Structure 1
Amino acid sequence: MTMDLVRVQLYDSLKIMNNREAEIPLYAEQDVVSTLNRIFPIGYEVKFPIFEDMFLTLYNAGHIAGASFCYIQGKEGALFYSGDFSAFSQKSIEGAKLPKLRPDVAIVESTYGDRLHSNLEIEEKALVDFVNEAMENNGKVLIPAFALGRAQEVILILKSALNKGQLKNVKVYVDGLVRDVNRVYNRNPIYLKKSLGKKVLKGLEPFYDDNIVEVKPNDNREELLKEQQVVFVASSGMLTGGPSAYYAEKIAPMENGYIAITGYQDEESPGRQLLDLLEAKEDRYLKLNGVGFPVKGQIKKIGLSAHSDKSEIKGLIDRLSARNVILVHGNNEVVRNLGQEMAADYKGRIFTPECGEQIHIEIRNPRKQLKKHIPYVMNHSEELSEKLMSHFYEYMTEHYGNRLFTLEELYYIWHGVNCYEDEQMKGFKALIMESVYFESDARRLFLWKARDKQDVEEDLKEKELNQQQLTLIIEELFKEFPIRRLVLIWNKRKFN
């Protein structure tokens, strides 16, 4: 997942730099190719050896698709690094999920360590209500969104509202880098929320339909803006460039223009300037690409943060129970205040370092690590195939029941050797994912288990085709013939 996203974002950055006449690009296309060739993908919950007696394991961090907690284990101790994380599930991905870990040192983000988020459902409703208000006034809506993560959430919120009839007669256009990121989501269903990932695995389109469409390269944006009752979901999320800046320049001066800001805005960004106008009653101006223009439309801030809040941060730290906790990735005041609040009750040591400060921690007695035990392996030299799948299934049910495993662990059980090469794993992965004998976990599509025997037996029974399935097969068989009309006589099991 992450490798595909890196490819999209590096090429997009390169395109932006090349289009700026006064700017010398920081890197060339060959640098992108060279970087991508050096990326080695590792799945979630795979204990990967990085040095002798040192291992790295990644866990779902729930921030954006592919976001990971990092857990490093070695002889000298264990280190946990959170990166950005979110404990609550979103519409496109599941929330953070961790087994019982025993780190000696935990480095944890504290971006929103000074606040509690409002209820997500309330914020989603606020966005739908804002769009409805705009439609009642025959307006146009712009939702600038980060291409990765936030845009997909916004699209799915709007799609859900349209399907439930909470939004009517609305056309949603998706523009910018968002389109490329959506395609990456389609290629990596096992890292999405189960409901969304299952749609992709069935060949269904998760984001687009008749009401939500992507803007094609040859589409004229001026013509799209002439349409009535339209919503534009476009990157960049801070209005620093991309199609969102173009739409903002056109929509902000409209009396019936509506702009919803759904993510963090940097202090110097046009998006922050726009938010600052919320309190202004008169003389509202915005500058984009060096050009200033009046803001006559409506502005609204919607809280769809994918960062953890104070309660989630404290909950993670308590769960880890590390003897040494280092708070990072927050402004100095937030880090200090959160550290002081926790220090009163926390049994370990809390560090709140300044930017660039070095910390020396001596671990005299490393905590004993919990190990995942896989005692039974089949040691097959032959590759797994559809013919051998029932044999593998019987072995798994006998020795492991419905215990969950990563695909890499299932490979180990079959072959008796570890495999971390993505290309080598492709065929094995495809067989497991398409097999009637195995199913993914309800919340983590990257974990698999043997299905209940009763369910397997039911699915293996020969089933009579329904009318729709039979019609599709007949049409495919006779597509070369000039048949004008096909009549299926269902009760007689024949067609004319």
Structure 2
Amino acid sequence: MPPEATVVRVEFEGPEISIYVRNPAVVLEKPEIVKRIAKTIKKRIVIRTDPSIRKDKERAKKIVTEMVPPEAGIKEIIFDDALGEMIIKAKKPGLVIGKGGTLLRTLLIKTGWRPVVERAPPIESKFIPQILHHLVEESPYRVRVLRDIGQRIHRPVIFKSNYVRITALGGFMEVGRSAILVETAESKVLLDLGINAGATSPINAYPRLDIPEFVIEELDAVVITHAHLDHCGFLPYLFKYGYNGPVYTTKATRDLMILLQLDFLEISRREGKVLPYTQKEVKKLISHVIPLDYEEVTDIAPDIRLTLYNAGHILGSAMAHLHIGEGLHNIIYTSDFKYENTRLLEKANDRFPRVETLIMESTYGDEELPPREEAERQLISLVKRTAERGGKVLIPVFAVGRGQEILLVLIDAMESGKLPKIPIYIEGMIDEATAIHTTYPELLSDKLRERIYRDENPFTADYVYIVESRETRTDIVEYDEPLIIMATSGMLTGGPAVDYLRLLAPDPKNTLIFVSYQVEGTLGRKIKDGAREISYIDKDGRLEVIKINMEVHSVEGFSGHSDRRQLLRFLQRMTPKPQRIILNHGERSKILALANAIRRRFAIEVYTPHILDSIRLA
């Protein structure tokens, strides 16, 4: 580093090394300096400014507004004192960044604050600003956390003789509570930590953290692949019992994960269920999340590097690539993935630098789903038929992914005349999750991304209504015209969809349409398999039994999971080919059927472990 840059201090901050300087212009005018340092020490480098050169906040704001074109549409500027960052929220981030980042560099030099640009979405999220302000308020704590994490990541490797082992803690021979412990002689990393919404007992609801190999104090990192609760719903539990390490995921997954965990707590409270953690732990974990971009290589332990790749499942979903040791072993954990383009997302990545072991989902291991176009036609036909007889349609959906996909299909059908423009009512965090989708257009399909860049909002229409209060549910159901209700949860494990079901089920004019996978043990699965009565405890404590006279249909082609054909096609096209495959995230019959198909077609070693099984990989 040139002496004239005036380096004040160098700090480990998570996986990055931060260099604090008094004269950033010297470094910014010669970017090859930082690149050379990063290449030499094989670490990510961040240049930060010493507090002594940072302009007063009002002065810094004035400089930004004077230098950035008004067309950028700056909505807010927030200052993070601990990290010396100036977060600029703008409708057109490119105009703040400037060609080749020139304007960003100028802003840093002129203000002394490191500018971080975020997109102001077309649908205003109420939730993302809360996360951002929480991070700023907790910034001193977050800096301490990052420095502790940095020291742990960059500690000397003690055990030169290495091994790699995985242990199945949840989500093997079942769907739900996904959790995998990856161990080397030096490190321990968790891949996902979810819950099983359909379980009837705690021993089957949560991952098996009660084994000798799992010690919270020895855990180096947690990697969360996406925001569905069967992959992240148990994460706050770790923080309740002393975990102070990092959580690696995409920024979109961070936002959606926190949203769904808090919603899960609120629904559980209303339904009288007790969870093993509280809001306090959910809020604490926010400061421990280290967001990563796709294909960004990151040290997460002394001997493990992580890279996330697009999984095509839901917004921000990722496949995790672990590079262990100096070429000792490489693991790809697909988690949930979709190997097909959808209206919402591009298909999953299939090219990786190296891989010896592939851990792959098997949700539809023995099923071939109908093409997406056929699924859309079937959905439109069912809605049209119900509307023509004056009935109402209930579509239970996940707040994230399926909710947005189905909304796009319905709006498109109504705008093109395939469906009459009947009211669509949305309830259960779907609207907030949709706002988060518009915050990250770079993660959406090419077509959607371009529409958002043109300031269009593909998720709204004047016949789409957000249900703000549960008190209005009865009024909606008693409305004497056809309508559509989209509500959570997608498996009828709780939430407003269950209330709507009770109100709509007795009337044969109405229709229930499942568009998501229904896990064994859930109410959705029972109804899908033929149950025509539901019982529940009413507000007076009495047992009520309701007959399901409404039509029940399942439209399979909208799944965010790859079906058997897509799973095998992924293996066919994946580069390079793995030496072994480990199957998880599927019911026993589906896993075994897929394993046999893979052995016949590819002659690759396939493992089908049970929960608590361990496999040595190297």
Q: TM-score, normalised by structure 1?
A: 0.68
CA shift in 2, pair 1:356/1:88, >3 Å = same
Q: Percent identity?
A: 28
- Provide Cα deviations, 1:126-178, integer angstroms capped at 9, x if missing partner: 11000100111011111111111111111111011011100113111111121
CA contact (8 A) 2:350 2:570 kept: no
Q: Deviations over 1:342-374 (max 9, x none)?
A: 223434422222332111233xxxxxxxxxxxx
Gaps of 5+ in 1: 279-283, 363-496
Instruction: Confirm whether residue 317 of structure 1 aligns to residue 565 of structure 2.
Output: no
Q: Give yes or no for the alignment of 1:330 onto 2:586.
A: yes
Task: Name the SS of the counterpart of 2:291 in structure 1.
Answer: coil
Tell me if structure 2 keeps the 8 A contact 1:239–1:269: yes
1:116 CA drift (Å): 1.3
**Pairing 1:75-90 to 2, within 5 Å after superposition:** 75=326, 76-90=328-342
Is 2:141 the partner of 1:141?
no
Structural mapping, 1:323-402, within 5 Å = 323-362=579-618
Q: Aligned partners of 1:232, 1:103: CA distance in 2, in Å?
A: 44
- Judging changes above 3 Å, is the alpha-carbon distance between structure 1 residues 47 and 212 closer, same or farther for their aligned structure 2 residues? same
Residues of 2 paired with 1:268 and 1:351: CA distance?
A: 26
Which residue number corresponds to residue 206 of structure 1?
458
Distance 2:336 2:274 in 1: 31
Structure 2 partner of 1:101: 353
Deviation digits for residues 450-476 of structure 1, max 9, x if unmatched?
Answer: xxxxxxxxxxxxxxxxxxxxxxxxxxx
Q: Which amino acid aligns with 1:48?
A: T
1:60 is matched with 310
1:30 alignment counterpart: 280
Are 2:260 and 1:6 aligned? no
- Aligned partner letter, 2:362: S
* Conserved? CA contact 2:298–2:306, under 8 Å: yes
Q: 1:300 to 1:345 in 2, by over 3 A?
A: closer
Q: Give the letter aligned to residue 583 of structure 2.
A: L
Aligned counterpart, 1:17: 268
2:553 to 300, 305, 309: 300
Give the corresponding residue for 1:271: 524
- Output the TM-score relative to the length of structure 2: 0.55
Q: Look up the SS of the partner of 1:117 in the other structure.
A: coil
Cα distance in 2 for partners of 1:111, 1:272 equals 14
State how far apart, in whole Å, the 2-side matches of 1:265 and 1:70 are.
25
What secondary structure does 1:43 align onto?
Answer: coil
TM-aligned CA distance change 1:224 to 1:168, over 3 Å: same
Q: CA deviation at 1:219?
A: 6.7
SS in 2 for 1:268: coil
Q: Take 2:366 and 2:599, find their aligned partners in 1: how far apart are those partners?
A: 15
Find 1:243's aligned residue among 473, 496, 499.
496
Partner of 2:440: 188
* 1:285 maps to which of 533, 536, 541: 533
Partner of 1:452: none
Q: Whole-Å Cα distance in 2 between the matches of residues 253 and 6 of structure 1? A: 35
2:182 aligns with: none
* Cα shift readout 1:74-105 (whole Å, capped 9, x = no counterpart): 31121111111111112111111233432011
User: Structure 2, unaligned stretches of length 5 or more?
Assistant: 1-251, 538-542
- How many residue pairs get aligned? The number is 356
Quick check: 1:270–1:288 contact (8 Å CA) kept in 2? Answer: no
Separation of aligned partners in 1, 2:445 and 2:597:
34
Structure 2: distance between partners of 1:302 and 1:101: 37
**Take 2:377 and 2:591, find their aligned partners in 1: how far apart are those partners?**
32
- Work out the CA distance in 1 between the residues paired with 2:515 and 2:385: 17
Report the residue type matching 1:356 in the other structure: L
Q: Please report how far the alpha carbon of residue 213 of structure 1 lies from its aligned counterpart in structure 2 after TM superposition.
A: 2.0
Post-superposition Cα deviations, 1:109-138, rounded to whole Å, max 9, x if no partner, equal: 112111211111111111100010011101
- Structure 1 residues 269 and 351, CA, compared in 2 at 3 Å: closer, same or farther? closer
Equivalences for residues 40-59 of structure 1 within 5 A: 40-52=290-302, 54-59=304-309
SS in 2 for 1:359: strand
d(CA) in 1 for partners of 2:305, 2:497: 43
Give 1 or 2 for the bigger CA radius of gyration: 1
Give the 3-state SS of the residue equivalent to 2:499 in structure 1.
helix
Distance in structure 2 (CA, Å) of the matches to 1:83 and 1:262: 20
CA distance in 1, matches of 2:442, 2:314: 14
